[in-house]
Amino acid sequence: MKICTLLEKYPYINDILDSYNIKIENPNVELDEFLKNLNEDELQEHGVTIEEIKQTIFSLIDEIEEIRDEEDIYAVESLTILGGYDKHGNKENLELTIYKGEIISVVGPTGSGKSRLLADIEWLAQKDTITKRTILINGKEPPLELRYATDKKLVAQLSQNMNFVVDLTVKEFLFLHAESRMVENTEKVVMEIFNTANELAGEQFDIDAPITSLSGGQSRALMIADTALLSKSPIVLIDEIENAGINRKKALELLVKQDKIVIMSTHDPILALLANRRLVIKNGKVNKIIETTLEEKSVLPYLEELDNKLLTVRNKLRDGEIINKI
Ligand SMILES: Nc1ncnc2c1ncn2[C@@H]1O[C@H](COP(=O)(O)OP(=O)(O)OP(=O)(O)O)[C@@H](O)[C@H]1O
């Protein structure tokens, strides 16, 4: 490949050459040719050989390609669920495509199969779960390595009973995660997640608090802020966060703002109506898909008012007050 093409594709090569004071006189020559014509004596002053420079350039290219491949994996535009069979073996007539930035709610009676649907998505099922559903990413079967890789997770899960077990402070935990993601400006990202988590949480917490000391609501607020602002996973599954002690509406807005696909199983009417569409599960299959109309959405303020009233009573109970009128 010619030097000019290489530099265009991998501008970091410039930094390598600069560090050895190598100037490019003719960018139209092939890399091998260019390297062959370097002055060995001058390079010796920098304690490096032509072969070593070649190796450094090739390993840089490999590294960049690996990062680019990974970025491609996370570039999810859509997720498609192809139907399988219900609990009685009847066919599930379903071909549903969900696009990034969409919120889908999953509703249905207890035991109907809501968690199973989320598990199928998490597992990127390929007719190999009890429901025989198939999950496609960008309209295609996802690569096998994605299903088994522990470090490349397309799907992040948030659930009601999630707790931290590591002995770190909030700050240490966020720094560790941000550094492992190799983000630029780690401190800024960490503070953004921390502040966002505090906006979502019912009660505030300190950045130096041990994460094991956080309440359920605070832990979930931290996980949601972390998932939205740091995790690469483009698909987020939420299993019943109704009593999670967090601002649910803000949490959903935050995830959608990051262009994630959000799928949540819920019994909470407010959450269900915040979604663009809701899947009604019956006997282990998606029985209906309902678009949330403007008319349905217009009920939201009323439900939110009711919800706030209930919250007031709950707080009064907690504070040992007597409940009379609301
Ligand atoms: N299509 C299916 N075929 C066979 N079994 C199924 C199917 N769908 C769900 N099940 C099974 O039915 C049981 C109940 O399903 P699941 O736990 O998903 O229900 P749920 O709606 O999440 O209930 P809850 O609201 O109580 O959490 C599980 O054992 C699950 O594996």
Provide the Cα torsion 15, 19, 21, 26; round to 10°: -20
Residues near 261 by Cβ (< 8 Å), separated by ≥ 6?
76, 78, 79, 98, 99, 100, 101, 102, 104, 234, 235, 236
Q: Give the per-residue pLDDT at 164.
A: 64
Q: Give the per-residue pLDDT at 147.
A: 77
Q: Give the per-residue pLDDT at 256.
A: 84
Q: Give the per-residue pLDDT at 243.
A: 60
> What's the fold here for domain 78-292?
Rossmann fold (3.40.50)
Atom of ligand 1 nearest to the CA of 113: 18
**Mutate which of 88, 130, 263 for ligand 1 pocket (most atoms within 8 A of beta carbon):** 130
Q: Give the per-residue pLDDT at 160.
A: 63
By DSSP bridging, strand 277-282 and strand 285-291 are: antiparallel
Low-confidence residues of the chain: pLDDT under 70: 70-71, 149-152, 159-165, 241-245, 326
Q: What is the Å distance from ligand 1's center to 268 Cα?
A: 18
The amino acid occupying position 285 is K
Helices (H) and strands (E) in the chain, counts: 14, 9
Q: What is the Å distance from ligand 1's center to 112 Cα?
A: 5
Q: What is the Å distance from ligand 1's center to 128 Cα?
A: 16
Residues near 172 by Cβ (< 8 Å), separated by ≥ 6?
none
Does the C-beta of 266 come closer than 6 Å to ligand 1? Answer: no
Q: Are 181 and 219 in contact (CB under 8 A)?
A: no
Does the C-beta of 116 come closer than 6 Å to ligand 1? Answer: yes
Does the C-beta of 114 come closer than 6 Å to ligand 1? Answer: yes
Q: Give the per-residue pLDDT at 117.
A: 96
Q: What is the Å distance from ligand 1's center to 285 Cα?
A: 9
Q: Give the per-residue pLDDT at 181.
A: 74
**Mutate which of 86, 107, 116, 286 for ligand 1 pocket (most atoms within 8 A of beta carbon):** 116
**Mutate which of 85, 115, 128 for ligand 1 pocket (most atoms within 8 A of beta carbon):** 115
Spatial separation of the C-alpha atoms in residues 156 and 137, rounded to whole Å: 15
Q: Give the per-residue pLDDT at 27.
A: 84
Q: Give the per-residue pLDDT at 138.
A: 92
Cβ atoms within 10 Å of 324's Cβ, excluding its own: 6
SS3 (DSSP) at 185: coil
Does the C-beta of 159 come closer than 6 Å to ligand 1? Answer: no
Which residues partner with 104 through β-bridges? 263, 277
In the numeric block, which tokens belong to residue 306? Answer: 């009711």
The amino acid occupying position 43 is L
In the numeric block, which tokens belong to residue 312? Answer: 């007031």
Q: What is the Å distance from ligand 1's center to 144 Cα?
A: 25
In the numeric block, which tokens belong to residue 133? Answer: 């559903």
